[in-house]
C-alpha cells in the first residue's frame, strides 16, 4: 500500500513539473540610449532619409550605406544589415508609411525584430524605434513564446535570442519601463492561456486542469472554487454531465473570483467552454485532424488568462470567471443521439448530435453564473462551430452574438484597438424557432438543411440566459494559428485575453 501511495505521489509531482507555465527565458529590458551595444536595430520609415539614432548611433553612416549597397526603401518589415566602425552591426527595419504607424504596428515590428534576430542567430541586441518602446518590447515578448518542454533533445541549429534592450531617451525611461511592466504582465496571462491550450490531453484533463488553475491563480489572490461531479448532480446540471458521462475523466466546474471594487458593485462575468478533448462522442469526428481537438478548451483558457490579467494589474472591478471542464469521449456510457437531458434551468434538451457538446456544457455554466452571481453582463467564449470558420475564415475575425447593442459595440471597439477583431451576426425569433424540439423544450442542433449553424448555436445558448446582458464569442477560427503571426508563433494564440482586458480597462473599471 505504501509503495502504491509513493508511486501516486511521484506521478503527481512529475505532472506538476511537466505542467510549468511556459515563460520565455529571453530577457527584455528598457534602457536609456547608449552606443555600448554590438548589434543595434534601427527603424526607418518608407521613403525617409533620416533614421532615429538618438544622436549617438551614427545614423548618417547607416543611411549612406543603404544608398550605396541596397534598394531598401523602408517598407514595413523589410530588413537591411550593415557594418559600422568599431565592430558594430546595425540592422535597419522598415516601419512602413509614417502616417500609418500605430500601436499595433509597433507590436508587430517588435515581433518581426525578434524573428529576424533569431534568423540571424544573434543572441543579444539593442533596439531603437520611433514610437512606444513598451509596445515594441511587448511585441518581441509575445513572439518569443515557445512550447518545447516535452522535447528530450533540443535542436542545436536553433540559436535562441537571449536579450533584447529597447532604447529610449533619458526623460522617457521611467514611463516606458512602467508601461512595459504593465504589458508584460498581460503577456504572461496570454502565455498561461497558450500553455493550457497547447498541453496534450493526457496531461490536461478536467481534474488536472482545475488543479493547475488553482495553483496558478491563487498566487495572485484570486479565489478558486471547484465543483465536482457530485455537486453538479446536486445542482441538476444534466446538460454538462451528459457530455462527460462517456469519459473516465470526471467533469469539473471551476469558479474564479476577483474582488477589486466595492462589494456593492455588480460583478462582470466570463464563461468558458473547456472540452479538454473532443472526439465528437458517438457522433464521432473524422480521425484526420482529430488531434487538433485538444484545443477545444481554448475558450476556458482565455477566461483563465483574462482573470489572471485582471488580478495581475489589480483591476478595480469585481469579476467572475466560470469554466466548464469535461472530456467528450466515446465509451459504453456515452450519451447517444436522441437522448433527452434536463439542464440546470429545468429546460429539457434533445441531443441530436453528440458533437454539438460545447453548447450543452455552456448551457449549465451560463445558467449557474447568472443564477448565482446576477452579473452586470456575461460573455462566453468557445471554439463552438466549424461554421464560423466557413463564414469568416481562419484567424481574421471571431464571431460575435449578443442580446445587447451597447455590450456588442464595446466588444467590437476593444477588439479593433488590440487587433482581435469581431464580426457581429444576427439573432432573432425566426432563427430561435428552428431549434424547437418536437419532444423536448429545445434540440441542440437545427434540422438538416437549415444552415446558419453558428447562429443556431448562439440561439441555443440564449435560451439559458434570461434577461442578463450577454455576448457569445465563437473563437473556433481564431484560437489556433497554423502559420503564426508577427506576435504569435504557430499554435495557440490566446485570443481574447487582450480584447477582454481592454474592454474592462476602458469601460468597466471603477474610477478613483
C-alpha span between 59 and 54 (Å, rounded)? 8
Mutual angle of helices 133-143 and 173-198, in 10-degree steps: 20
Residue 400 parent element (H or E): strand 398-402
Question: How is residue 346 written as a grid cell?
Answer: 429545468
C-alpha span between 26 and 35 (Å, rounded)? 22
Q: Can 285 be counted among the known catalytic residues?
A: yes
Residue 209 parent element (H or E): helix 206-217
C-alpha span between 304 and 319 (Å, rounded)? 12
Question: Which one, of 148, 144, 50, 145, lies nearest residue 95 by Cα?
Answer: 50
* Candidate list 359, 463, 498, 502, residue with the active-site label: 359
- The tally of CA atoms less than 13 A away on the side-chain side of residue 477 is 23
Residue 431 parent element (H or E): helix 429-434
* Candidate list 88, 124, 236, 285, residue with the active-site label: 285
Q: Can 359 be counted among the known catalytic residues?
A: yes
Query: What count of residues does the chain have?
Result: 512
23: Cβ–Cβ under 8 A, 6 or more apart, which residues? 188, 191
Owner of C-alpha cell 534601427: 42
173: Cβ–Cβ under 8 A, 6 or more apart, which residues? 30, 31, 32
Contact by Cβ (8 Å): 120, 89: no
Contact by Cβ (8 Å): 502, 417: yes
Q: Which residues are catalytic?
A: 285, 359
Amino acid at each position: 500500500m505504501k509503495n502504491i501511495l509513493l508511486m501516486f505521489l511521484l506521478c503527481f509531482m512529475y505532472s506538476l513539473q511537466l505542467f510549468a507555465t511556459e515563460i520565455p527565458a529571453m530577457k527584455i529590458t528598457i534602457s536609456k540610449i547608449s552606443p555600448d551595444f554590438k548589434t543595434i536595430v534601427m527603424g526607418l520609415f518608407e521613403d525617409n532619409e533620416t533614421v532615429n539614432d538618438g544622436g549617438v548611433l551614427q545614423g548618417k553612416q547607416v543611411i549612406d550605406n543603404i544608398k550605396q549597397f541596397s534598394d531598401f526603401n523602408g517598407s514595413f518589415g523589410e530588413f537591411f544589415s550593415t557594418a559600422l566602425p568599431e565592430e558594430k552591426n546595425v540592422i535597419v527595419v522598415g516601419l512602413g508609411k509614417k502616417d500609418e504607424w500605430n500601436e499595433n504596428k509597433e507590436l508587430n515590428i517588435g515581433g518581426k525584430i525578434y524573428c529576424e534576430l533569431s534568423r540571424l542567430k544573434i543572441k543579444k541586441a539593442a533596439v531603437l524605434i520611433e514610437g512606444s518602446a513598451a509596445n515594441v518590447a511587448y511585441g518581441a515578448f509575445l513572439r518569443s513564446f515557445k512550447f518545447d518542454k516535452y522535447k528530450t533533445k533540443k535542436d542545436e541549429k536553433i540559436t535562441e535570442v537571449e536579450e533584447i534592450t529597447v532604447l529610449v531617451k533619458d526623460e522617457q525611461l521611467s514611463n516606458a519601463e512602467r508601461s512595459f511592466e504593465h504589458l508584460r504582465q498581460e503577456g504572461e496571462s496570454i502565455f498561461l492561456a497558450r500553455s493550457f491550450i497547447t498541453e496534450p490531453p493526457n496531461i490536461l484533463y478536467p481534474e488536472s486542469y482545475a488543479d493547475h488553475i488553482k495553483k496558478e491563480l491563487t498566487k495572485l489572490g484570486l479565489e478558486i472554487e471547484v465543483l465536482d461531479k457530485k455537486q453538479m448532480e446536486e445542482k441538476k446540471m444534466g446538460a454538462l454531465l451528459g457530455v462527460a458521462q462517456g469519459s473516465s475523466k470526471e467533469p469539473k466546474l471551476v469558479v474564479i473570483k476577483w474582488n477589486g471594487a466595492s462589494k456593492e458593485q455588480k460583478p462582470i462575468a466570463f464563461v468558458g467552454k473547456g472540452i479538454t478533448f473532443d472526439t465528437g462522442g458517438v457522433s464521432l469526428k473524422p480521425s484526420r485532424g482529430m488531434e487538433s481537438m485538444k484545443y477545444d478548451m481554448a475558450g476556458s483558457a482565455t477566461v483563465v488568462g483574462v482573470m489572471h490579467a485582471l488580478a495581475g494589474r489589480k483591476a478595480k472591478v469585481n469579476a467572475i470567471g466560470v469554466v466548464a471542464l469535461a472530456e467528450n469521449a466515446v465509451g459504453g456510457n456515452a450519451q447517444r443521439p436522441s437522448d433527452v437531458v434536463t439542464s440546470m434551468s429545468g429546460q429539457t434538451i434533445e441531443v441530436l448530435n453528440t458533437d454539438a457538446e460545447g453548447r450543452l456544457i455552456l448551457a449549465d455554466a451560463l445558467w449557474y453564473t447568472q443564477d448565482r452571481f446576477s452579473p452586470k453582463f456575461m460573455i462566453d467564449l468557445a471554439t463552438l462551430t466549424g461554421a464560423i470558420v466557413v463564414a469568416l475564415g481562419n484567424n481574421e475575425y471571431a464571431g460575435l452574438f449578443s442580446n445587447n447593442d451597447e455590450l456588442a459595440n464595446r466588444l467590437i471597439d476593444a477588439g479593433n484597438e488590440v487587433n482581435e477583431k469581431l464580426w457581429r451576426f444576427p439573432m432573432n425569433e425566426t432563427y430561435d424557432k428552428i431549434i424547437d424540439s418536437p419532444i423536448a423544450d429545445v434540440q441542440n442542433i437545427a434540422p438538416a438543411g437549415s444552415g446558419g449553424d453558428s447562429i443556431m448555436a448562439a440561439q441555443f445558448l440564449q435560451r439559458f440566459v434570461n434577461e442578463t446582458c450577454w455576448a457569445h464569442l465563437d473563437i473556433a477560427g481564431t484560437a489556433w494559428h497554423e502559420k503564426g503571426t508577427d506576435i504569435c508563433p504557430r499554435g495557440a494564440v490566446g485570443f481574447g485575453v487582450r480584447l477582454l482586458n481592454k474592454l474592462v480597462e476602458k469601460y468597466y473599471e471603477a474610477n478613483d
